Structure 1
Amino acid sequence: MAGVSIATVSRAINEPTKVADATRRKVTDAIARTGYTTNAMARSLRMRRSNMILILAPDVGDPNFSNILVGLETEASKRGYGLLIGNTQNDPSRETDYLRFISSNQADGLILFTGHLPFGLSQPSHHTVLPPMVAVNEPVLGQDIPFVGVDNFEGARIAAEHLISQGHRRIAFVGRARNREINRLREEGYRAALGGADIAIDPRLIIDGDGTTESGRAAAELMFVRDALPTAFLCVNDATAMGVIIALNARRYDLPRQFSVMGFDDISFASFLTPSLTTMKQPRHRMGEAAMELLLTLLAGEKPKSREVLLRAELILRNSVSRPNS
């Protein structure tokens, strides 16, 4: 209908600046008359590219996930990509099932929130070709996987130094977990801050936790059982801090006059706790954008400027921290 070749139609649609204005108008008019729309599946088969990105997350209900997802989607949309979301629930079989999107060319690359390679890729054979992938929030240890996240060590160090600047010397760390790199780095930041202030670390004030509200509540109760009370709690994340606050409020302590509590992440309800939570804010939207930028660079066959992007957390001052009660 336009009187031009298939290749010219393709250029007029995908690279209009490379086609003469008169030719582009002919193609545009023909499109309008026929109601033509691109068949995405046929295009994917022809180009061997789906323009879709697969995201694997252990828990899409994680308060951090949604804001990072917005950043991922924003950047992907700018570049003509869509997203597929796989909620793995830490189930190896689910991870393997989701990988069919890669093997069947329904997705071009992977964004990993899981902290490990998908089960189907964790022991690749000699002929397995790993798809382009980027880890977000939780690094994949022992693998050369590009990573985008917050500087957890530095953020926790700043958080602990804030408590120290308020006069606290007995500071508990709630959320030790040797199998999670985020928790380990935040504990190391806490230790570095105390060491820098010549404060001896009391092992009784370092409590295991899995990052849930219940683990925070249990940790606070354990402090009373041990009879080794701190003046301040530095929690590995905001959910843990909420559990600590719930336990202390249930015992009718006056917060923060009797105990200070600090979190990490600045999730949506942190400002609505009683008292409102002083915490470290993760730049989650920017994390998502940076991760997608990095992945799309890899998909374009280009070498990224850096294979690790660490963003700074921001100290958010609210009402859950004060000077210790003399």
Structure 2
Amino acid sequence: MDKRAISIRDVAQAAGVSTATVSRALNAPGRVSEETRRAVLEAVKATGYSVNPAGRNLRQRRTGSVVALVPNIANPFFSAILAGISSVLRPAGLNLLIADTLAGENREGPVRDYLDRTRSDGVILFDGNVSPTALEPRAGVETPPLVMACEWLEGRPLPHVGIDNAAGARVVTEHLLNLGHRDVAHVMGPPENVLTQTRAEGYRTALAEAGLPCRDDWILPGDFSLASGARAAEMWLALPDRPRAVFCSNDEMACGFISALAAKGVSVPRDVSVAGFDDIELAQHVHPPLTTLHQPRRALGIDAAKLLLDLIAAPELYGATHRIEPVELVRRGSTAAPGDG
């Protein structure tokens, strides 16, 4: 290339597509094939083309930013998802802003702040405990597109990207049952959370299909944190007849559970099998490494961002679109048949 400014036409020529296709690949990736999008991104890299975000945003009356609203930024579960979102937004010339729905006096404040075209071009919401009233249109405020990721709002037909949590919980519980365990406890997340509720549903379904009762004293409270996992371990230790297998509703609680047991001299999986849900980075580094359900977190972020860009480019597509990502059980050293380990 010569020293003149690289244009979208140069990218189109290098990729062997039209300028309109280049625009769609960068601004609405869900409307082109993955092969075409890769070809365009390679052409962008080869030519050195970069979007002039200030000029584009001025022409299109955009802010140049997408906001991810997460409940607890410190939660390591979100890291890979946010990286996936950023990988899609960056080539489109959009910045990713992150706000915590738990940081203020109520969850609704950040949602109302950013559901405003003057503050963001789109919102990806990870918090299913936000009041639906926070999403209601407001007089004089133009609302940007919104996509729910991982969690959802019951009764609201919003675009959503996630997994089948009930089916995933069944897979984990059935793994423990297939090992030969007939006494399986469950450590729950916050009781009002939709993930807690659907994962508990999957756990109960697996027990019922195996002809086993669901004992209330084997349902232990938690809140998705390491500390609540450790507290659940103390409760498990205090049970008169301890179940030999425990399914924790997320990996953080499972790691806290295992750590607290180790401090008391209880061996996993010799004395009790422990399984989690999510497959965060920490899961493979605890001792023993944690058996868990793998969520494709980066793929979740990529698909949520692609869906949002499609809605930004074509608001008329807005509706109850659901994209469900596949999951798989990752067997590691924290589970074993009774008497093994």
TM-score, length-normalised on structure 1? 0.82
Deviations 1:51-94 (A, max 9, x none): 32111122222111110011111122233322122233342568
Equivalent in 123, 135, 143 of residue 110 of structure 1: 123
Give 1:186 deviation, angstroms: 0.7
CA distance in 2, matches of 1:17, 1:291: 26
Q: Does 1:166 align with 2:149?
A: no
CA distance in 2, matches of 1:222, 1:247: 11
Q: Does 1:317 align with 2:331?
A: yes
CA distance in 2, matches of 1:229, 1:18: 65
Equivalent in 116, 126, 132 of residue 145 of structure 2: 132
SS in 2 for 1:198: coil
CA distance in 1, matches of 2:157, 2:141: 15
Q: Does 1:308 align with 2:313?
A: no
Equivalent in 197, 209, 219 of residue 222 of structure 2: 209
Give 1:223 deviation, angstroms: 2.4
Equivalent in 64, 76, 79 of residue 63 of structure 1: 76
- C-alpha spacing 1:251/1:117, structure 2 compared with 1 (3 Å): closer
Deviations 1:122-152 (A, max 9, x none): 4544665532100112112232221111211
Conservation of the 8 A alpha-carbon contact between 1:294 and 1:304? no
1:77 is aligned to 90
Give 1:39 deviation, angstroms: 6.4
Give 1:255 deviation, angstroms: 1.7
Q: Does 1:152 align with 2:162?
A: no
SS in 1 for 2:255: helix
- C-alpha spacing 1:174/1:217, structure 2 compared with 1 (3 Å): same
Unmatched tracts of structure 2, length 5 or more: 14-49
Aligned residue type for 1:88: T
Query: After alignment, is 243-252 or 227-236 more displaced?
Result: 243-252
Q: Does 1:218 align with 2:231?
A: yes
CA distance in 1, matches of 2:185, 2:51: 59
Q: Does 1:290 align with 2:337?
A: no
Query: After alignment, is 300-309 or 289-298 more displaced?
Result: 300-309
SS in 1 for 2:78: helix
Q: Does 1:249 align with 2:262?
A: yes
Q: Report the count of equivalent residues.
A: 300
Aligned residue type for 1:313: V
> Which structure is larger by alpha-carbon Rg, 1 or 2?
1
Aligned residue type for 1:325: G
Conservation of the 8 A alpha-carbon contact between 2:116 and 2:141? no
Conservation of the 8 A alpha-carbon contact between 1:86 and 1:98? no
2:19 is aligned to none
Deviations 1:224-255 (A, max 9, x none): 33323100010001111112112221221222
1:31 is aligned to none
1:197 is aligned to 210
- C-alpha spacing 1:144/1:254, structure 2 compared with 1 (3 Å): same
1:271 is aligned to 284
Query: After alignment, is 120-129 or 206-215 more displaced?
Result: 120-129
2:23 is aligned to none
Give 1:119 deviation, angstroms: 8.7
Aligned residue type for 1:231: R
Aligned residue type for 1:321: T
Give 1:98 deviation, angstroms: 7.1
Q: Does 1:86 align with 2:99?
A: yes
Give 1:289 deviation, angstroms: 0.7
Conservation of the 8 A alpha-carbon contact between 2:158 and 2:320? no
Query: After alignment, is 263-272 or 92-101 more displaced?
Result: 92-101
2:191 is aligned to 178
1:30 is aligned to none
CA distance in 1, matches of 2:11, 2:268: 63
- C-alpha spacing 1:266/1:117, structure 2 compared with 1 (3 Å): same
Query: After alignment, is 58-67 or 189-198 more displaced?
Result: 58-67
Query: After alignment, is 200-209 or 280-289 more displaced?
Result: 200-209
SS in 1 for 2:301: helix
